[in-house]
Amino acid sequence: MQIIRAKHAGFCFGVKRALQFAEVAAKRFGEVYSLGPLIHNPQEVERLSKCGIKEADDLKHVVGSNVIIRSHGVAPAVIDQALVQNLNIIDATCPFVKRTQGYARGLAEDGYPVVVVGDKDHPEVEGIVGWSNGAAIVVENYEEVEKLPNKENAGVIAQTTQTEQNFKKVVEVLQDKTQNLKVYNTICHATAERQEEAACLAKQVDVMLVIGGLNSANTRKLARICKESGTTTYHIEKASDIDVAWFLGVGKIGVTAGASTPDWIIEEVLQKMMEIKEQEDQKNMEETMTEEVTEQNNEEGNEENAPEETAANENEGDSSFEEEYHRGIQEVRRGERITGTVVQVRDTEVLVDVGSKSEGVIPRSELSPNEAENIRETIKVGDQIEVLVLKRENEEGHPVLSKKRVDQEIIWEKMYDAFETGEVVTGNVAEVVKGGLLVHNGVRGFVPASLVDLGYVEDLNAYVGKELRMKVIECDRSHNKLVFSPKAVLEEEYQKKRTETWEKLEEGQTIQGIVRRLTNFGAFIDIGGVDGLLHVSEMAWFRVEHPSDILKEGDVLEVYVLGVDREKEKVSLGLKQLLPNPWSYAGEKYQVGSIVEAKVVRTAPFGAFVQVEPGIEGLVHISQLDTQRVAKTEDVVKPGDEVKVKILSVDPEAKRMSLSIKEAAGIEEAEKEVPQEEPEENTGLQVSIGDMIGNLKDE
């Protein structure tokens, strides 16, 4: 019996990822809170509550310091508020939702009015609107779009669960009302994928099993699609609904599940199916063994029916020889693990003395791949090895043994010990499969995509061939299930690093950090497991409009520790403190009376502030703007203008500089009007350049 599970069954990627985040967090912290229900399924919410995953409808109701952002995502203001409350954020926002949030933010920053197609009261849509600085317009259908005013520019995105048909209609109407429309189709097509896969799978199997609520519309539709293919289909809610009689004599069974079906229900059903399969396999094996025993009994019966005279002759005087022959000979039993000594190594097999009357044989296929490929280099005569008895005797009377299977059992034992103790194990990534990575370390294990690294991994292929350090989080030999988590190791190391950082952290230090996140008010810098805030006012000696003007996520830089609050676990950082203050050399660089290039940065009723270099600004008083009387500063200059100014005064300590556009213009005009004088004849009173140099030397 072969069981085939649909590639996409049950929860979508985003929901499944959020659940994995939550469960790992609960194991680590004991109790965590999700902001709103983590999943819209009462049974699953109840199960999660028992695991320590509680629900809070507001950040104020979060008990402790750990909060999960569910797959719907939230507005940036919620993230900022959580940071203000010093909460540890576990961001489980679906990557597809996060992508939609990014489009909303980008459109808003580019000055495009944002239109979101979706349910305005849905948490996902509320979060998307927040990423547009609250300016997005939410519409549910094209009728609402028709009521909107015409726009020159606009951008349209969709709630991830919208239908393709509705989104297309909205886009069509918007194109008629907008001259320049940017369209981002952000719909997730998980439901359509499930239906297409179910129809395809049903044609390949003898029986289809559809898991999900009997009242679930999407699950009923899956069952109907499977039945329409002509395949016998059973719709069940849970494992206990299964009737073993459904699968008697069945070759292939297909399994799928509706989008509202929790993974644990699917796993229970699959486990029940595996038990049925194992029972069938066991039954077949027992029948085979019965046939072998029958054959053996027939052979023994033939011996017993031999002439009595022969038996009598054998028993006469030969009993002592038989006892001596069998003394010390070990009877090997099928399935037994025994230790033996290698007595001969051949190209296709290894002979092992296991204490029986004949040497045991290990076929090349029952060695590990490396041993089989390099049989004479890896196995030597005299080696003590542990083997499993596959067969008491082959045609030549030798026990048939396996070293590979013992090695695997030993590794499974080590994996179980590592599971119990939390020991770190290693394994090599063999390939990328649905939902994660396959890892080999003597046996095959699985790493879910959400547990590969601390954050979301875009391309899992980058890990193929690499060795990973991991913890065992599931170990079930009976079902051949082994699940690893590299993330658990990274989190443990992260916490250790965080503790060490807090122990060493002091005000006045210069420390290296990595830019993790940018906000309107600053940047959060990872300084070794601890996030410090680099406020926008501490980034440079000049005015910075937005952190993205000088930083980007992933930048590695040196920062100065301005303050440390261990109680609230807050660190304030500075960057400009490590840079020279331009005012410290302004007195030498900018001499009174000199003329320099400058840029108008802002205007005021009393004059204009101009920047002579980043970090140094001076004031051109309204009286110094022009030779004529100026009524309004804006009549002469505006922000962004490039001007020439004369330096009237410099006060580095007060960080002030007085400037004049009027006098700079006057000097330039005067220089143009001064006529070129004819060279005069030399007189004895004139001084040459050589005389001047000589006088300077004398002085």
Q: In the numeric block, which tokens belong to residue 629?
A: 């009387």
Find the distance separating the first CA and the last CA of the chain, reported in whole Å.
Answer: 109
Outline where DSSP puts E strands in 614-699.
616-621, 642-651, 656-660
Residues 557-585: what's their mean pLDDT?
A: 87
Encode burial over 476-503: b for 16+ CB neighbours within 10 A, e otherwise: eeeeeebbbbbbbbbbeeeeeebeebee
Q: What pLDDT sits at residue 290?
A: 53
Q: Which of 371, 382, 377, 373 is nearest to 344 (CA)?
A: 382
Q: What pLDDT sits at residue 104?
A: 94
Q: What pLDDT sits at residue 330?
A: 58
Cβ neighbourhood burial of 3 (10 Å; 0-12, 13-18, 19+): middle
Backbone φ, ψ for residue 376 (5° rounding): -80, -25
In the chain, domain spans: 8-94, 96-183, 332-402, 408-491, 505-578, 583-672
> From CA 338, how far away is CA 406, in angstroms rounded?
10
Least confident piece of the model among 151-165, 230-244, 284-298, 507-521:
284-298
Q: What is the pLDDT of residues 388-426, one digit of tens each?
A: 888 888 877 788 999 888 888 888 888 988 898 889 999
- Read off the amino acid at residue 403: K
Q: 408-491 architecture in CATH?
A: Beta Barrel (2.40)
Residues 620-646: what's their mean pLDDT?
A: 90
> From CA 418, how far away is CA 412, in angstroms rounded?
10
Backbone φ, ψ for residue 316 (5° rounding): -80, 110
- Read off the amino acid at residue 85: Q
Residues 457-486: what's their mean pLDDT?
A: 90
Superfamily of the domain at 505-578: Nucleic acid-binding proteins (2.40.50.140)
Residues 462-468: what's their mean pLDDT?
A: 92
> From CA 648, how far away is CA 653, in angstroms rounded?
16
Q: In the numeric block, which tokens belong to residue 469?
A: 């350090």
Whether 136 and 156 have beta carbons less than 8 Å apart is answered as: no
Q: Which of 527, 543, 547, 526 is nearest to 535 (CA)?
A: 547
Q: 583-672 architecture in CATH?
A: Beta Barrel (2.40)
Proportion of the chain above pLDDT 70, given as a percent = 85
List alpha helices for 401-540, DSSP H: 404-421, 486-504
> From CA 460, how far away is CA 91, in angstroms rounded?
20
Q: Quick check: 679 pLDDT over 70?
A: no
Q: What pLDDT sits at residue 27?
A: 85
Is 148 in a helix, a strand, or coil?
coil
Whether 210 and 222 have beta carbons less than 8 Å apart is answered as: yes
List alpha helices for 570-654, DSSP H: 586-589
Q: Identify the residue with better confidence: 481 or 688.
A: 481
For 8-94, CATH number? 3.40.50.11270
Task: Give 4-61 as a DSSP string.
Answer: EE-SS-SS-HHHHHHHHHHHHHHHHHS-EEEES-SSS-HHHHHHHHHTTEEEESSGGG
Q: Quick check: 316 pLDDT over 60?
A: no
Largest CA distance in the chain: 159
Q: Quick check: 374 pLDDT over 90?
A: no
- Read off the amino acid at residue 625: L
**Strand 53-56 vs strand 595-604: parallel, antiparallel, or unpaired?**
unpaired
Q: Quick check: 533 pLDDT over 60?
A: yes
By annotation, the residues acting in catalysis are 124
Whether 269 and 242 have beta carbons less than 8 Å apart is answered as: yes
Q: How many C-beta atoms lie closer than 10 Å to residue 684's C-beta?
A: 4
> From CA 267, how far away is CA 239, in angstroms rounded?
9
Proportion of the chain above pLDDT 90, given as a percent = 24
Whether 582 and 614 have beta carbons less than 8 Å apart is answered as: yes
DSSP state, residue 469: E
Question: If residue 349 lies in a helix (H) or strand (E), which one and from where to where?
Answer: strand 349-353
For 96-183, CATH number? 3.40.1010.20
Residues 353-379: what's their mean pLDDT?
A: 84
Q: In the numeric block, which tokens belong to residue 247?
A: 């699968």
Mean pLDDT of the chain: 82
C-alpha Rg value of the chain to the nearest Å: 40
How many Cα atoms are found within 13 Å in the side-chain-facing hemisphere of 330?
Answer: 17
Dihedral over Cα of 228, 229, 231, 237: its sign: negative
- Read off the amino acid at residue 579: L
> From CA 670, how far away is CA 666, in angstroms rounded?
6
Contacts of 672 (CB under 8 A, 6+ apart): none
- Read off the amino acid at residue 447: V
Contacts of 172 (CB under 8 A, 6+ apart): 142
> From CA 619, how far away is CA 140, in angstroms rounded?
53
Cross-strand bridge partners of residue 463? none
Q: Which of 190, 191, 193 is nearest to 218 (CA)?
A: 191
> From CA 261, how far away is CA 270, in angstroms rounded?
13
Q: What is the pLDDT of residues 193-228, one digit of tens each?
A: 777 788 899 999 999 999 887 766 567 778 888 998
- In which order are the strands placed within the sheet that holds 66-69? 53-56, 32-35, 66-69, 88-91
Q: What is the pLDDT of residues 245-291, one digit of tens each?
A: 888 878 889 999 877 788 778 888 888 888 887 777 666 555 555 55
Q: Which of 189, 112, 201, 134 is nearest to 158 (CA)?
A: 189
Q: What pLDDT sits at residue 11?
A: 75
> From CA 235, how far away is CA 126, in angstroms rounded?
36
Q: Which of 383, 392, 387, 322 is nearest to 358 (CA)?
A: 392
DSSP state, residue 69: E
Say which residue the tokens 């590794």 belong to.
411
pTM listed for this prediction: 0.38
Least confident piece of the model among 181-190, 609-618, 620-629:
181-190
Q: In the numeric block, which tokens belong to residue 172?
A: 């069509």
Backbone φ, ψ for residue 157 (5° rounding): -135, 170
- In which order are the strands placed within the sheet that holds 207-211? 2-5, 252-257, 207-211, 232-236
Same fold, 8-94 and 96-183: no
When the candidates are 2.40.50.140, 3.40.50.800, 3.40.190.10, 1.10.443.10, the CATH number that belongs to 332-402 is: 2.40.50.140
Q: What is the pLDDT of residues 15-66, one digit of tens each?
A: 777 888 888 888 888 889 998 888 766 667 788 888 888 888 888 888 888 8
Cβ neighbourhood burial of 383 (10 Å; 0-12, 13-18, 19+): middle
Q: What pLDDT sits at residue 690?
A: 41
Question: If residue 167 lies in a helix (H) or strand (E), which one and from where to where?
Answer: helix 164-177
Q: What angle do CA 688, 694, 698 make, to 5 degrees?
A: 145
Q: What pLDDT sits at residue 218?
A: 65
Q: Quick check: 234 pLDDT over 90?
A: yes
Is 534 in a helix, a strand, or coil?
strand
Residues 153-173: what's their mean pLDDT?
A: 87
Q: Quick check: 551 pLDDT over 80?
A: yes
> From CA 154, how far away is CA 386, in angstroms rounded?
72
Q: What pLDDT sits at residue 289?
A: 52
- In which order are the strands placed within the sheet that holds 178-183? 137-139, 114-117, 151-158, 178-183
